[in-house]
Amino acid sequence: MNAYIIGFVVPLVIYLFKNAKSRKRRGLPADVAGDPGFAVRNHRVTSPMTSAWEGVTTLVELFERACREHHHRLLLGTRELISREIETSSDGRSFEKLHLGEYKWITYGTVFESVTSFASGLAKLGHVREERAAIFAETREEWFIALQACFRRNVTVVTIYASLGEEALCHSLNETEVATVICGRKELKSLVNIAGQLDSVKRVICIDNDVPSDASSAQHRWTITSFSDVEKLGRENPIEADLPLSADVAVIMYTSGSTGLPKGVMMTHGNILATVSAVMTIVPNLGPKDVYLAYLPMAHILELIAENLIASVGGCIGYGTPLTLTDTSNKVKKGTKGDASALSPTVMAAVPAILDRVRDGVFKKVNAKGGLSKQLFDLAYTRRLKAINGSWFGAWGLEKFLWNFLVFKKIQAILGGRIRFILCGGAPLSGDTQRFINICLGAPIGQGYGLTETCAGGSFSDFDDTSVGRVGPPIPCSYIKLIDWPEGGYSTTDSPMPRGEIVIGGPNITLGYFKNEEKTRESYKVDERGIRWFYTGDVGRFHADGCLEIIDRKKDIVKLQHGEYVSLGKVEAAILGSPFVDNIMLYADSFQSYCVALVAVSRPALEEWASKQGIAYSDISELCGKEEAVKEVHASLVKEAKKARLEKFEIPAKIKLLSDPWTPETGLVTAALKIKRDIIRKTFQEELSKLYGK
Ligand SMILES: *[C@@H]1O[C@H](CO)[C@@H](O)[C@H](O)[C@H]1NC(C)=O
Ligand SMILES: *[C@@H]1O[C@H](CO)[C@@H](O)[C@H](O)[C@H]1NC(C)=O
Ligand SMILES: *[C@@H]1O[C@H](CO)[C@@H](O)[C@H](O)[C@H]1NC(C)=O
Ligand SMILES: CC(=O)N[C@H]1CO[C@H](CO)[C@@H](O)[C@@H]1O
């Protein structure tokens, strides 16, 4: 071939590739009934899928099938605890550090035996199928086994976030009249605290063998049995399975709502199976070679879907915790391995807050090192960013290989070096963090949008879509429809893109809220063709290729005194970029002309600034009260706001600095780290009034 032809052919091929990509339609218009709007479906299917496996209609059938097919493969792995140590830091506080060993694995065959034994044991203990069982524990091997065992007895499982408060725990156990609680030693303590109010609990199955003495059967109305004893009981007294149907309720999942008491969402086997099937089509080539690192709460729908998915394709699941994830995680003993480097997973699920933390950690390290290695990192990062942003063609090839080898390999080692896909959901992921993961880990992120109410169904970005800020087309089991919301100023006839409230429909839509007809009727509707729709309250727009972008939330838009609309979430997202901000809540009073903000400060950043300025203070809360500090942080917020081109009325005019971080334990943010507006507002009522000069 001569140079002329090469010179002609290569650019042509690149041109064709680029255009094929930009023309790729990921979502297509759909013909649906119900409220008028702009509806889209996935390009892979013509109507929503219900199951990816022929003849499989429940999670029980799915798991049984996998166990038959992958009998000798490894399924569940847990790390051995070598030692537990208490380390004391220089300021006298003590921390628990764990020394964990290698993963110990059990096969599909063995897990299946455990599941059938536990199911028989549960029945033998006297649990009948009309009664509900709750699993209240951290993510671990026994969680999965107990879940599958309950399914085999057609027992509905109630799930509760381990970090919910006692009031919420009491409410959910009482509302569902749970008869058997399966929990860990730590959770059993919370149970004991509210034992007086739990009328329905008859049995407690404790996963850990050392049951605390004050939990004993003698003092309470319940009997306590250890997990291994239930298995043993079942092994000696096998009982036939009592299989559920697709329409039977598999799980009642209590979600930490941002207002009031949690609501229990009823999910059928069919609901969960539909999402598991749909997500399988999204992760490329998922199969027995895949290793999944499980550490998110099992009571989070994303984790429930992910573990059932991995266990259906012959992959293996290794358990970890957020506090032992990497070699430098808080609870990992110095010099020993974190979960990710011990496991080397290929697939992970994550919430944005965790990926943000990984990203901040890396940037901090690079900046601290400085010098040549920082320059090299910056150069590599910019080159890769250009390549990914500009052309799809440039995203691969030799240069990528080179930079990976020179710079990014060390970063990839943080998560074990083999990650090939990250499932992300629960909250919007920032474009910066998505790029960081794409570049430094070299792995695509499937960014999902869905709710517990839609069984995590909704949308999911395709692995080959390198754009940021969007959540992809509808997944194959969902329709997504936008409907007009005139008060918010959003319409499906908007240009250049249709906009409106997001409504999700299909077989993945759950039955509704447990014992809450009214709330169910408010948010769910069945159309004339029998499809259920959930009204999300989120506002989105559809790009030309059928990908959804979340732009607002109905509840979070406030109209100011002069009629300007402020989208609280949008402003917060912009301002979070300030180095002084750990978390923030914008507040707008409709009777005022300006907004204010509560800022949970980033202590290290503020302390560093103070020491540079030579400002004396005895503790951080005093520093937060100082006028100079407030001024400095405010200036930094304004800078971020201007960068994001916010309007003047959107920028908080006054702020209050708070020294304590907002963690799920404080109740100010959900377990997925979303802020709970109502609770924060109530907690800091006085501060907010002061900001408005009242
Ligand atoms: C499963 O259990 C539920 C609740 O007890 C019951 O209504 C349903 O009929 C059961 N399903 C089968 C197939 O027996
Ligand atoms: C538990 O539920 C019953 C009704 O099912 C209710 O009467 C009782 O007040 C509830 N108790 C608590 C502590 O919520
Ligand atoms: C990425 O590309 C878009 C348009 O193609 C451009 O507006 C943006 O500035 C680019 N970003 C970077 C970081 O190069
Ligand atoms: C709960 C629910 O919406 N179930 C539906 C799931 O999808 C099938 C098929 O589309 C419907 O027949 C069910 O009613």
Q: What is the pLDDT of residues 334-375, one digit of tens each?
A: 899 999 999 999 999 998 878 888 888 888 888 888 788 888
163 lines ligand 2 (CB under 6 A): no
Rounded Cα gap, residues 684 and 694, in angstroms: 14
Question: Closest Cα to atom 7, ligand 4: which residue?
Answer: 507
Residue 298 in domain: yes
Rounded Cα gap, residues 422 and 444, in angstroms: 7
Question: Closest Cα to atom 4, ligand 4: which residue?
Answer: 507
Is 311's pLDDT higher than 90? yes
457 lines ligand 4 (CB under 6 A): no
Name the one residue in this structure whose structure tokens are 């409907």: 483
- What number of other Cβ atoms are within 10 A of residue 336's Cβ? 17
Calculate how far, in angstroms, residue 176's C-alpha sits from the geometric centre of ligand 2.
Answer: 10
Q: Which residue has the higher pLDDT, 20 or 653?
A: 653
Ligand that comes closest to the CA of residue 469: 3
Question: Tell me, what's the pLDDT at 244?
Answer: 97
Calculate how far, in angstroms, residue 127's C-alpha sits from the geometric centre of ligand 4.
Answer: 29
Question: Closest Cα to atom 6, ligand 4: which residue?
Answer: 507
Rounded Cα gap, residues 517 and 95, in angstroms: 47
* Residues 650 and 542 occupy one common structural domain: no
* Residues 233 and 114 occupy one common structural domain: yes
**Which atom of ligand 1 lies at the shortest distance from residue 130's CA?**
5
Question: Tell me, what's the pLDDT at 665?
Answer: 79
- pLDDT band at 10; cut points 50, 70, 90: low
Rounded Cα gap, residues 79 and 82, in angstroms: 9
* Residues 314 and 366 occupy one common structural domain: no
Calculate how far, in angstroms, residue 86's C-alpha sits from the geometric centre of ligand 2.
Answer: 41
**Which atom of ligand 1 lies at the shortest distance from residue 129's CA?**
5
Q: CATH code at 492?
A: 2.30.38.10
- Percent of the chain, pLDDT > 90? 53
Instruction: List Cα–Cα distances, 328 to 247, 341, 491, 632, in angstroms.
Output: 45, 11, 48, 31
Judged by DSSP in three states, 321 sits in: coil
Which of these three, 322, 346, 370, is where a domain ends?
346
Calculate how far, in angstroms, residue 663's C-alpha sits from the geometric centre of ligand 2.
Answer: 29
* Residues 403 and 356 occupy one common structural domain: yes
Rounded Cα gap, residues 569 and 236, in angstroms: 56
With residue 567 as reference, give the H or E element that holds it: strand 565-567
The residue among 112, 108, 98, 116 whose CA lies nearest residue 77 is: 108
Residue 163 in domain: yes
* Residues 574 and 453 occupy one common structural domain: no
Residue 265 in domain: no
Q: Classify the C-alpha dihedral 257-261-266-272 as positive or negative.
A: positive
Calculate how far, in angstroms, residue 261's C-alpha sits from the geometric centre of ligand 2.
Answer: 14
Q: Classify the C-alpha dihedral 436-439-440-443 as positive or negative.
A: positive
* Residues 665 and 678 occupy one common structural domain: yes
Question: Tell me, what's the pLDDT at 393?
Answer: 46
Question: Tell me, what's the pLDDT at 279?
Answer: 92
Question: Tell me, what's the pLDDT at 153?
Answer: 96
Is 216's pLDDT higher than 60? yes
Name the one residue in this structure whose structure tokens are 């499989």: 56
With residue 273 as reference, give the H or E element that holds it: helix 269-280
Lowest mean pLDDT across 159-168, 319-328, 568-577 = 159-168
Is 608's pLDDT higher than 70? yes
Instruction: List Cα–Cα distances, 387 to 391, 395, 396, 398, in angstroms.
Output: 6, 5, 8, 12
* Residues 583 and 542 occupy one common structural domain: no
Residue 96 in domain: no
* Residues 304 and 387 occupy one common structural domain: no
Which of these three, 305, 331, 346, is where a domain ends?
346
* Residues 566 and 525 occupy one common structural domain: no
| Residue list, ligand 1 pocket, CB within 6 Å | 129-130, 154, 244-245, 248
Is 3's pLDDT higher than 60? no
- pLDDT band at 140; cut points 50, 70, 90: very high
Q: Are 105 and 74 in contact (CB under 8 A)?
A: yes
Q: CATH code at 69?
A: 3.40.50.12780
Calculate how far, in angstroms, residue 531's C-alpha sits from the geometric centre of ligand 4.
Answer: 7
Is 280's pLDDT higher than 50? yes
Question: Tell me, what's the pLDDT at 1?
Answer: 45
* Residues 202 and 332 occupy one common structural domain: yes
Is 402's pLDDT higher than 80? no
Lowest mean pLDDT across 169-178, 484-493, 663-672 = 663-672
Q: Are 507 and 477 in contact (CB under 8 A)?
A: yes
Residue 3 in domain: no
Q: Are 276 and 49 in contact (CB under 8 A)?
A: no
Q: Are 235 and 213 in contact (CB under 8 A)?
A: no
Domain of residue 124, residue span:
59-74+107-244+283-346
Calculate how far, in angstroms, residue 156's C-alpha sits from the geometric centre of ligand 2.
Answer: 20
For 43-97, write each residue's pLDDT tens digit.
988 888 889 999 999 999 999 999 999 999 999 999 999 999 988 877 777 888 9
Orientation angle between helical segments 185-193 and 166-175, nearest 10 degrees: 80
507 lines ligand 4 (CB under 6 A): yes
Calculate how far, in angstroms, residue 244's C-alpha sits from the geometric centre of ligand 2.
Answer: 29
Instruction: List Cα–Cα distances, 3 to 7, 15, 394, in angstroms.
Output: 6, 18, 22
Residue 135 in domain: yes
Residue 41 in domain: yes
The residue among 604, 357, 573, 553 whose CA lies nearest residue 469 is: 573
Name the one residue in this structure whose structure tokens are 């600095």: 657
Calculate how far, in angstroms, residue 287's C-alpha sits from the geometric centre of ligand 4.
Answer: 28
Question: Closest Cα to atom 2, ligand 2: which residue?
Answer: 174
Calculate how far, in angstroms, residue 390's C-alpha sits from the geometric centre of ligand 3.
Answer: 7
Q: CATH code at 646?
A: 3.30.300.30
Rounded Cα gap, residues 529 and 561, in angstroms: 44
Q: Which two tokens stand for residue 361?
A: 């950690």
Is 109's pLDDT higher than 60? yes
Question: Closest Cα to atom 4, ligand 1: which residue?
Answer: 130
Stretch 141-154: mean pLDDT = 97
- Structural domains counted in the chain: 3
pTM of the model: 0.81
- Helix H segments across 336-450? 339-343, 352-369, 371-390, 397-403, 409-412, 431-436
* Residues 314 and 448 occupy one common structural domain: no
Return all residues near 10 (Cβ < 8 A) that are at least 6 apart: none
- What number of other Cβ atoms are within 10 A of residue 660's Cβ? 14
For 559-588, write each residue's pLDDT tens digit.
787 777 788 888 898 898 899 999 999 999
**Which atom of ligand 3 lies at the shortest distance from residue 389's CA?**
1
With residue 678 as reference, give the H or E element that holds it: helix 677-683
Question: Tell me, what's the pLDDT at 100?
Answer: 96
Residue 14 in domain: no
**Which atom of ligand 4 lies at the shortest distance from residue 510's CA?**
1
Length of the chain: 694
- pLDDT band at 286; cut points 50, 70, 90: very high
Q: Mean pLDDT in the chain? A: 88
Question: Closest Cα to atom 12, ligand 1: which residue?
Answer: 244
DSSP assignment of 613-665: HT---SSHHHHHH-HHHHHHHHHHHHHHHHHTT--GGGS-SEEEEE-S---GG
Terminal Cα-to-Cα distance of the chain (whole angstroms): 81
Peptide bond into 428 cis (omega under 30): no
* Residues 543 and 659 occupy one common structural domain: no
Which of these three, 553, 576, 599, is where a domain ends?
553
Question: Tell me, what's the pLDDT at 473?
Answer: 95
For 376-399, write each residue's pLDDT tens digit.
888 888 888 877 765 544 455 667
313 lines ligand 2 (CB under 6 A): no
Question: Closest Cα to atom 10, ligand 3: which residue?
Answer: 389
